[in-house]
Amino acid sequence: MNNTDQIQTNKYPFAEELITDIEGNIKKVVMDFQEYLRLLEALEDEGLILAMKEVESETPLNFDQALAELEKE
């Protein structure tokens, strides 16, 4: 890894190493597996929050109503 790669990894919080092509374009990122799992969990959490916000104005259904809605599809 050259000095440019070390400087660039500071821009990417989870990156331990950047693998570049001969033109210097980043092609791959090496990261700690536990950090990778934390990143995945954060993305899933964000997706859940966005999904919850999308339906927050909807009226909740009880179990029978939910089944009836599913049967319509």
Domain boundaries, the chain: 1-31, 32-73
**Greatest C-alpha distance within the chain:** 62
User: pLDDT by residue (tens digit) across 20-32?
Assistant: 899 988 899 999 9
* Cα dihedral sign, 52-56-62-65: negative
Question: What pLDDT score was predicted for residue 14?
Answer: 83
Question: What pLDDT score was predicted for residue 13?
Answer: 81
Count of positions (residues) in the chain = 73
0.85 exceeded by the pTM? Answer: no
Question: What pLDDT score was predicted for residue 38?
Answer: 92
User: pLDDT by residue (tens digit) across 33-62?
Assistant: 999 999 999 999 999 999 999 999 988 899
Query: Cα(23)–Cα(26) distance, rounded to whole angstroms?
Result: 9
